[in-house]
Amino acid sequence: MLVVNEELCIGCKACEKACPFDAIYVDQETKKAVVKDNCTLCGACVNVCPTKALSIERKAVSEEELAKYKGVLVWGEWEKRDNNLQLKGVVLELLGKARQLADKLQENVGVILVGYKISHLVDELFHHGADIVYLCEHELLETYTTDGYATVISSVLATEKPSIVLYGATPNGRDLAPRVAARLALGITADCTGLDIDEKRQLVQTRPAFGGNIMASIISPYTRPQMATVRPNVFPKPEPDIARNGKVITVPVSLTKQAIRTKIIEDVALEESTENIEEAQILVSAGRGIGAKENLKLVHQLAKEIGGTVSGSRALVDLGWLPQPKQVGQSGKTVAPNLYMALGISGAIQHIVGMSSSDTVVAINKDPEAPIFKVADLGIIGDLNEIIPAFLELLKEYKKGKNEN
Amino acid sequence: MKIVVCIKQVPEADKVAIDPETGTLIREGVASILNPFCEYALDVAVKLKEQFPEHNIEIITLSMGPPQAKQALIRTLELGADKAYLLSDRKFAGSDCLATSYALKEGIAKLVPDFDLILTGKQAIDGDTAQVPAEIAEHLGIPQITYGLDVTLNNRRIEVKKETEEGYQVVSARLPALVSISRGSNIRRLPSIQEVINARRKPLEVVSVEDIKIDETKVGLKASPTQVVKIFAPPPKAAGEIIDGRDDPKAAAKKLLEFLIEHKFV
């Protein structure tokens, strides 16, 4: 509840101007601030009030209670790659971050590894910074299901009492983490791009909101564990240390078939999407500006010549010109290649948030006002259907010249 | 058969920005709309209703929000919902995902206790968390299927085609269940004048915490584990080089090649 102390309120209207939601005003007759129904308790007015007449009543919990929770835990998500079960890249990225956070807290890094016949993944986790691996194996955990995984992970969290739990913001991570959070009545922050520890030993979670136009820093001051999902390709992978070792704790799992209420009838990998754009070093990305579907040939040819992978904007996926797993952006994937070539992509903020971690960005677009140019290292205003063929011609000559030398 | 579609009214997200000088949200000229993903979920419900007349499907839309969120619910009535409820109360203010999902769960359990299927959008375009659907399902103790593309009914079971990282899966579950929808037609359907007129006769009820006896200690700011401590504008990127290749595409291509050589990409 936002409370106005009418004795302190001087009717200066600072709150009125600061409110992002038009939810507080100074009454003309009483000259006192009045809170409206659409107040979201964001606190903007509290910060600007010169007489400290505004306050937000919040719940408090003792520090001793919070101190019972220790350690940083990462969900060790794996996937089937080349007929092998392998850790997802984001798990290693999270281990690097978890190590930093745990070192600041002087606590341990744990990994909760759930699945069936997955013990071969343990060493790689130790090499990348884990101290403890909680190994939860059961044949009913062979494929990911919300029910199976949420049950196992919730019970490990309840007994092990970690202070922080991190999940990759993959489709399964975003399916699982809120289910666990609701079960244990915990806070959860989605799609974090920054994580840090503050002076009160709390996890400060930073994430984009409003399609990336705004960043918000979020804490969970009175519940433990503090939980967050983190998008892939946001944090760097740590260098593995093959001498590192740790402790494996085998967690007994008892599950029945009835406990898993969803059944996978069909599981299809689309052939065109086998190359994962999240892992690509060079992406040649196409948008509506390519004009016609047959111009995609040019895009594919360019990708082939410079050793890149083709991706695209939502517009092309919606048109059915590219399969969904190739989509970059907020409703697609977050990518971080060394080179991102945006061809005919205007650069809506939803697209920018998906590729802004790229090292080098080249944009070609007809529209000089296209927002993509604001994030480009090299921006070319022009028709890509003229520029790309000319480029391919020059590239051919250049490669030929290089070979002859 | 009863389908509950949970919806949210959102600002047109990409038009919201932060004033770099005052550090506050600029909302002037930003319209409120029905969250597009929620509209996709409603479209799925309407399609099921048309496809399975034998089930006598009733579509009930539900939202939690300020009084003006009625506008978004009216839109759902125009687009095919039969009845709408708005949970609106000062006591909900400051609710995060957990508290919001609790309020919606209470709304569903008390207003439509005999529900069969809950449909939601994948996420709302203002917060983008995608967390509320799974939390509602957990509070209700029913299975969830997220990232749904298409839903079909088969007796007391649903079959859902869902997006995966590599392609898609078809997943089935016994009803009642919750499905979040991640995709839909990009071309938004405008309701006809007849649909707009019909919508006025459909019931839209505003419900308070007191009306349906929601436990006040589980909603609003005090029941929200997460707190926003700061909002700020993302750091801008240093400007790159922009060249105009409209008159001379060959020169532009040459520049591109030089750039890629310089940065060791070719």
Inter-chain CB proximity A18 and B228 less than 8 Å = no
Give the pLDDT of residue A38.
72
A79 exposed, middle or buried (CB, 10 Å; 0-12, 13-18, 19+)? middle
Alpha-carbon gap, residue A132 to A248, rounded angstroms: 6
Q: Which of A240-244, A358-362, B185-189, B227-231 has the lowest mean pLDDT?
A: B185-189
Check if B13 contacts A (Cβ < 8 Å).
yes
Token pair listed for A102: 């745990």
Inter-chain CB proximity A265 and B266 less than 8 Å = no
Alpha-carbon gap, residue B178 to B58, rounded angstroms: 16
Contacts of B105 (CB under 8 A, 6+ apart): B136, B139, B140
| Mean pLDDT of chain A, nearest integer | 91
Contacts of A320 in chain B (CB under 8 A): none
| Residue tagged 């001379």 (tokens) | B248
CA angle A159, A218, A90 (to 5 degrees): 65
DSSP A332: S
Contacts of B243 in chain A (CB under 8 A): 378-381
Contacts of B14 in chain A (CB under 8 A): 210-211, 213, 348-350
Q: Residue B127: pLDDT band by 50, 70, 90 thresholds?
A: confident
Q: Is A141 helix (H, G, I), strand (E, B) or coil?
A: helix
Inter-chain CB proximity B225 and A186 less than 8 Å = yes
Token pair listed for B37: 């993903």
| Residue tagged 């590894």 (tokens) | A113
Helices (H), A106-224: 122-127, 146-160, 171-183
Q: Residue B20: pLDDT band by 50, 70, 90 thresholds?
A: low
Closest to A56 (Cα-Cα) out of A64, A67, A45: A45
Q: Does the structure show a pLDDT above 90 at B115?
A: yes
Check if A249 contacts B (Cβ < 8 Å).
no
Closest to B170 (Cα-Cα) out of B186, B188, B147: B147
DSSP B43: H
Contacts of A266 in chain B (CB under 8 A): 168-170
Contacts of B174 (CB under 8 A, 6+ apart): A261, B143, B156, B157
**Side-chain-side CA neighbours of residue B98 (13 Å):** 25
| Mean pLDDT of chain B, nearest integer | 91
Q: For residue A214, give the nearest of B22, B231, B260 by CB distance.
A: B231
Q: Residue B197: pLDDT band by 50, 70, 90 thresholds?
A: very high
Distances A1 to A4, A96, A325, B43, B149 between C-alpha atoms, Å? 10, 39, 44, 37, 39
- Residues of B (135-194) whose Cβ lies below 8 Å from A: 135, 137-139, 143-147, 159, 163-174, 177, 182-183, 186
Of A163, A164, A186, A214, which to mutate for an interface test with B (greatest number of B Cβ within 10 Å)? A214
Contacts of B257 in chain A (CB under 8 A): 391, 394-395, 398
Give the pLDDT of residue A405.
67
Contacts of A394 in chain B (CB under 8 A): 253-254, 257
Tell me the pLDDT tens digit for each residue of A178-229: 999 999 999 999 999 999 999 999 999 999 877 777 889 999 998 999 999 9
Give the pLDDT of residue A20.
72
Give the pLDDT of residue B27.
64
Q: How far is B4 from chain A (nearest CA, A)?
A: 20
Q: For residue B94, give the nearest of A41, A183, A216 by CB distance.
A: A41
Token pair listed for B76: 């759902």
Label residues A116-147 b or e (16+ Cβ within 10 Å = b): eebeebbbbbbbbbbbbbbbbbbebbeebbbb
Contacts of A391 in chain B (CB under 8 A): 253, 256-257
Token pair listed for A186: 């915990």
Inter-chain CB proximity A383 and B249 less than 8 Å = yes
A192 DSSP β-pair partners: A230
The mean pLDDT value for B73-90 works out to 97
How far is residue A151 CA from its own chain's centroid?
Answer: 23
How far is residue A157 CA from its own chain's centroid?
Answer: 22
Closest to A11 (Cα-Cα) out of A53, A70, A74, A47: A53
Give the pLDDT of residue B149.
92
Give the pLDDT of residue A331.
78
| Residue tagged 């989509």 (tokens) | A327
Pair B96, B104: CB distance under 8 Å? no
The dihedrals phi and psi of A187, each to the nearest 5 degrees, come to -80, 150
B54: left (phi over 0), alpha (psi -120 to 50) or beta: alpha
Sign for the pseudo-dihedral over CA of A388, A390, A396, A397 = negative
Q: For residue B66, give the nearest of A38, A209, A222 by CB distance.
A: A38
Alpha-carbon gap, residue A191 to A209, rounded angstroms: 10
Tell me the pLDDT tens digit for each residue of A271-308: 655 678 988 889 999 999 999 999 999 999 999 999 89
- SS3 string, B177-211, reads EEEEECCCCCCCCCCCHHHHHHHHHCCEEEECCCC
Q: Does the structure show a pLDDT above 90 at A23?
A: no
A343: left (phi over 0), alpha (psi -120 to 50) or beta: beta
Sign for the pseudo-dihedral over CA of A143, A146, A148, A152 = positive
Give the pLDDT of residue B157.
95
Q: Does the structure show a pLDDT above 60 at A21?
A: yes
The mean pLDDT value for B251-264 works out to 93
Alpha-carbon gap, residue A166 to A203, rounded angstroms: 11
Closest to A22 (Cα-Cα) out of B259, B11, B99: B11
Check if A261 contacts B (Cβ < 8 Å).
yes
Strand A203-209 vs strand A109-115: parallel, antiparallel, or unpaired?
unpaired
Helices (H), A209-346: 296-306, 314-318
Q: For residue A395, give the nearest of B22, B221, B257 by CB distance.
A: B257
**Side-chain-side CA neighbours of residue B16 (13 Å):** 26
Tell me the pLDDT tens digit for each residue of A294-348: 999 999 999 999 989 999 999 998 888 998 889 998 878 888 899 999 999 999 8
B213: left (phi over 0), alpha (psi -120 to 50) or beta: left
Q: Does the structure show a pLDDT above 70 at B253?
A: yes
A77 exposed, middle or buried (CB, 10 Å; 0-12, 13-18, 19+)? buried
Alpha-carbon gap, residue A70 to A72, rounded angstroms: 7
Supply the DSSP string of A87-131, one letter for each residue: E-HHHHHHHHHHHHHHHHHT--EEEEEEESS-GGGHHHHHHTT-S
| Residue tagged 């099921």 (tokens) | B48
Q: How far is A189 from chain B (nearest CA, A)?
A: 7
A64 exposed, middle or buried (CB, 10 Å; 0-12, 13-18, 19+)? exposed
Token pair listed for A357: 């971690």
Q: Does the structure show a pLDDT above 80 at B57?
A: yes
CA angle A312, A317, A320 (to 5 degrees): 130
Q: Does the structure show a pLDDT above 70 at B28?
A: no
Closest to B136 (Cα-Cα) out of B64, B32, B230, B35: B64
Tell me the pLDDT tens digit for each residue of B37-55: 999 999 999 999 999 999 9
